């Protein structure tokens, strides 16, 4: 019995590691574990099910991510893997790991800030330039190259940059 | 060989999900028409992003509608194989893009409503509706801020932008009343704690809208006669043209997949 439990725990860990290695196709420095998109892995005898939560309702990367998870699990030796989408609780940028935030910054994308002022209709945000670290920045466009990003500009080093918006 | 429309068993719950889905899909499609045509690159991206959010919301509601209907339908069939009279969206969202002001005023009226509506729906007794609402309300907050900033910029901008923004408000105002109307079936769902009573949101909606319109130095029209019909399939002539484009591939190549 104990051996079976251990065996299951070990299988689950292997499945988790395989799923967690999948990266966001739009931001390939982040894994779905860094993003907080990977929610759960359930293993029973001959089946593994991975639960993910979508970031934005219409984010086209989600289909790709689901496919990549199935491929990663098959490669790790799991047959008939499946991916389930869970909507609740809704994904938030608060779930992004500290490691993920550092990777984003190193990649040139400003990581999401604490989201408590999001509700203000015309709230002020303070975003640091990922290039030079200056706080002297301005918003160029609330919507950027993907659903999750806004376009900003640094007034100190004059470089434009992406900001991963709070959600 | 024309493809037959699907039939939908419109129980109050199915209809409720379908109306939310149709609003989001049709408005999302309208916004997607700007892709490659917006006055500047940032706006091209903004409108396309908002369109994506809305189409994503539509997919969730269609999938749920098909699930509670429990027949052979799915999100694609519901979107691609229903004709004009089977669509249940607000007349507001199917109105043509017009000029940039008209697109943004339409978005502003809808987003100011959706923002309140999704936030209220997060407390629905129906767990799936509550979950879809929790996702959608985060998105609508950005949509509302984007549209509000543009209303102020256009209204309090040049003489030309002011005139156009005012004309858009005057033209679209008569389509806003439908957002607050419910039928008997929906009334029952409201009593059961599943659906949201839009009447309870009217005061706050008016507050948001009049605040922004006032700051934009614009005014409301005096006319308070309201147009209705979309919720029961009586649409303006514009929806048929929109659907003919949206559905053309599935009508020509039934069951086509990417």
A63/A143 same-domain check: no
A139/A86 same-domain check: no
| Residue A117: predicted pLDDT | 46
Q: What domain count does chain A have?
A: 2
| Residue A90: predicted pLDDT | 87
Contact call for residues B87 and B22 (beta carbons, < 8 A) = yes
B134 shares contact with chain A (CB less than 8 Å): yes
**Region B111-122 average pLDDT:** 98
A64: helix, strand or coil: helix
How many residue pairs bridge chain A and chain B with CB atoms within 8 Å of each other? 84
| Residue B1: predicted pLDDT | 56
B79 shares contact with chain A (CB less than 8 Å): no
CB contact under 8 A, B139 and A60: no
Report, as ranges of residue numbers, the positions in chain A whose pLDDT lies below 70. Answer: 1-5, 114-124
Q: Which residues contact B172 (CB under 8 A, 6 or more apart)?
A: B92, B95, B102, B105, B106, B109
CA distance B96 to B102: 8
A89 shares contact with chain B (CB less than 8 Å): yes
A66/A78 same-domain check: yes
Using alpha carbons, select from B149, B132, B110, B85 the residue that is nearest to residue B30: B110
Give chain A's count of helices (H) and strands (E): 4, 7
B75 shares contact with chain A (CB less than 8 Å): no
Residues 20-49 of A with CB under 8 A from B: none
**Which residue reads 């070990």 in tokens?**
A10
**B86-107, pLDDT tens digit by residue?**
999 999 999 999 999 999 999 9
Between residues A114 and B30, the one the model is more confident about: B30
Of chain B, the percentage scoring pLDDT greater than 70 comes to 99
Between residues A4 and B65, the one the model is more confident about: B65
Structure tokens at B55: 């189409």
CA distance B141 to B145: 6
B180 shares contact with chain A (CB less than 8 Å): no
Q: How far is B20 from chain A (nearest CA, A)?
A: 14
CA distance B76 to A139: 37
Q: How far is A63 from chain B (nearest CA, A)?
A: 12
User: How long a stretch of residues is chain B?
Assistant: 258
**Which residue reads 């339908």 in tokens?**
B73
B45 shares contact with chain A (CB less than 8 Å): yes
CB contact under 8 A, B145 and A122: yes
A17/A61 same-domain check: yes
Half-sphere exposure of B92 (CA within 13 A, CB side): 27
A149/A114 same-domain check: yes
A18/A81 same-domain check: yes
CB atoms < 10 A from the CB of B13, how many? 21
ipTM associated with this complex: 0.83
CA distance B101 to B172: 11
| Residue A88: predicted pLDDT | 85
Contact call for residues A84 and A50 (beta carbons, < 8 A) = yes
E runs forming strands in chain A: 38-44, 47-52, 81-85, 109-110, 137-141, 149-154, 160-164
Chain A neighbors of B150, CB-CB under 8 A: none
| Residue A6: predicted pLDDT | 77
Instruction: Using the 3D structure, point to which of A73, A91, A109 is the last residue of a domain.
Output: A91
Please report, for the domain that includes residue A17, its CATH number: 3.30.300.130
| Residue B2: predicted pLDDT | 67
A41/A83 same-domain check: yes
A124/A61 same-domain check: no
A6/A87 same-domain check: yes
A59/A116 same-domain check: no
Q: Can you give chain B as a three-state secondary structure string?
A: CCCCCCCCCCCHHHHHHHHHHHHHHHHHHHHHCCCCCCCCHHHHHHHHHHHHHHHHHHHHHHHHHHHHHCCCCCHHHHHHCCCHHHCCCCHHHHCCCCCHHHHHHHHHHHHHHHHHHHHHHCCCCCHHHHHHHHHHHHHHHHHHHHHHHHHHHHHCCCHHHHHHHHHHHHHHHHHCHHHHCCCHHHHHHHHCCCCCCHHHHHHHHHHHHHHHHHHCCCCCCCCCCCCCCHHHCCCCCHHHHHHHHHCHHHHHCCCCCC
B124 shares contact with chain A (CB less than 8 Å): no
CA distance B21 to B227: 21
Phi and psi dihedrals of A95, rounded to 5? Answer: -80, -5
CA distance B216 to A122: 14
Instruction: Using the 3D structure, point to which of A41, A57, A91 is the last residue of a domain.
Output: A91
CB crowding A29-41: b at 16 or more within 10 Å, else e:
ebbbbbbbbbbeb
A87/A99 same-domain check: no
Could you list the residue range(s) of the whole structural domain that residue A119 is in? 95-164
Please, what is the angle between helix B127-155 and helix B159-172, to 10°? Answer: 140
| Residue A113: predicted pLDDT | 81
**Region B36-46 average pLDDT:** 91
Instruction: Using the 3D structure, point to which of A70, A91, A112 is the last residue of a domain.
Output: A91
A46/A127 same-domain check: no
**Which residue reads 């379908």 in tokens?**
B18
pTM tops 0.90: yes
**Cis peptide, bond prior to residue A89, ω within 30 of zero:** yes
Res. B24 pLDDT band, cuts 50 70 90: very high
pLDDT value at B182 more than 90: yes
Among positive and negative, which fits the CA dihedral B214, B216, B217, B218? Answer: negative
| Residue B237: predicted pLDDT | 97
Considering only alpha carbons, which residue of chain A is nearest residue B60?
A: A57
CA distance B19 to B87: 8
């Amino acid at each position: 019995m104990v051996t079976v439990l251990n065996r299951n725990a070990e299988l689950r860990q292997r499945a988790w590691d395989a799923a967690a290695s999948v990266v966001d196709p739009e931001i390939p420095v982040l894994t779905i574990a860094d993003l907080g998109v990977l929610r759960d892995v359930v293993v029973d005898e001959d089946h593994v099910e991975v639960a993910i939560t979508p970031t934005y309702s219409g984010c086209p990367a989600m289909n790709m991510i689901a496919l990549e998870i199935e491929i990663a699990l098959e490669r790790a030796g799991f047959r008939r893997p499946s991916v389930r989408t869970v909507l609740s609780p809704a994904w938030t940028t608060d779930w992004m790991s500290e490691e993920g935030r550092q990777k984003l910054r190193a990649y040139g994308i400003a990581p999401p800030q604490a989201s408590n002022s999001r509700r203000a209709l015309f709230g002020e945000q303070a975003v640091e330039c990922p290039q030079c670290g200056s706080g002297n920045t301005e918003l160029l466009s609330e919507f950027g190259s993907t659903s999750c990003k806004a376009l900003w500009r640094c007034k100190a080093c004059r470089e434009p940059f992406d900001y991963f918006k709070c959600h | 060989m024309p493809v037959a429309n699907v039939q939908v068993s419109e129980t109050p719950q199915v209809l409720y999900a379908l109306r939310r889905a149709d609003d989001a899909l049709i408005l999302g499609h309208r916004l997607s028409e700007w892709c490659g045509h917006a006055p500047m690159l940032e706006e091209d991206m903004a409108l396309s992003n908002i369109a994506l959010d809305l189409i994503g919301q539509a997919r969730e509601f269609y999938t749920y509608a098909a699930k509670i209907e429990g027949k052979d339908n799915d999100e694609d069939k519901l979107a691609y194989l229903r004709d004009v009279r089977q669509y249940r969206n607000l007349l507001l969202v199917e109105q043509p893009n017009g000029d940039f002001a008209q697109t943004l005023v339409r978005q502003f009226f809808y987003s100011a409503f959706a923002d309140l509506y999704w936030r209220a729906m997060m407390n629905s007794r129906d767990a799936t509706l509550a979950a879809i609402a929790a996702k959608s309300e985060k998105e609508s907050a950005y949509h509302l801020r984007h549209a509000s900033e543009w209303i102020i910029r256009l209204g309090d901008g040049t003489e030309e932008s002011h005139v156009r923004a005012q004309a858009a408000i005057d033209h679209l105002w008569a389509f806003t009343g439908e957002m607050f109307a419910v039928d008997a079936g929906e009334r029952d769902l409201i009593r059961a704690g599943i659906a949201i009573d839009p009447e309870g949101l009217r005061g706050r909606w008016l507050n948001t809208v009049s605040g922004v319109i006032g700051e934009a130095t614009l005014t409301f029209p005096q006319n308070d006669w309201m147009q209705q019909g979309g919720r029961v399939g009586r649409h303006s002539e514009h929806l048929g043209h929109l659907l003919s484009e949206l559905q053309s591939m599935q009508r020509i190549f039934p069951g086509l997949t990417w």
